[in-house]
Amino acid sequence: MDSSNCGGRPCRTPDLPWRRIDGRVVVIHPRSGQVHELNPVGAQLWEAADGQRALTEIAHELAREFEVSEEQAGRDAAEFYAELERLGLVRFS
């Protein structure tokens, strides 16, 4: 987890091909050709990464919806976004 991103706003990389289908998100990285599938929770986090909301806000919503502690939700969301950032699918503003 990159703690420096906790106050940042995750933002989907513009123009990446993606769609939500049957609760899941499929996203393609054209340069690498890699195709990624996100489960329903991942899909929710993906759609939340609109560059408008801070990671703390997203974690707050996640904690409320899934009835876990905000600390736990924050850790999980940060880890998820860090992985997407590594893959070039998300960046922090």
Partner 1 sequence: MSILDRMRNRSAELLVPFQATIELTTECNARCGHCYLASHDDRVAGGIPLSVDEWKRVFDELAAAGTLVLIFMGGEALLHPRFWQLAEYAATKNFALSLISNGLAIDETAAERLAGLGFYQVSLSLYSMEAEIHDRMTRRKGSLQRAMAAVERLRARGIPVSVNCLLTSANIERCFELEDWAGARGASVQFDPMVTPRSDSALDPTLLRATPEQLRGYYREARRRGRAIAPAPVAMGDPVCNAGRGKCAVSVTGELLACLDVRESLGNLREASFEELWNSPRAERLRGLRNEDLRFDPSGGDGAFCDHCPGMAASEVGDPRAAVPFLMELARIRREVAIGDCIFAQER
| Residues forming the site for partner 1 (CB under 8 A) | 15-22, 24, 26, 28, 30-31, 33, 35-37
Least distance between partner 1 and beta carbon 24 (Å) = 8
- Give the residue with the Cβ less far from partner 1, 18 or 81: 18
29 exposure class (CB count in 10 Å sphere: 0-12, 13-18, 19+):
middle
Sequence-separated (6 or more) residues with CB below 8 Å from residue 85: 2, 5, 10, 91, 92
Least distance between partner 1 and beta carbon 41 (Å) = 17
The one-letter amino acid at 75 = R
Least distance between partner 1 and beta carbon 61 (Å) = 23
Contacts by 33-38, CB closer than 8 A, 24 or more apart: 34/87, 36/87, 36/89
- Give the residue with the Cβ less far from partner 1, 33 or 93: 33
- Give the residue with the Cβ less far from partner 1, 7 or 40: 40
Least distance between partner 1 and beta carbon 39 (Å) = 12
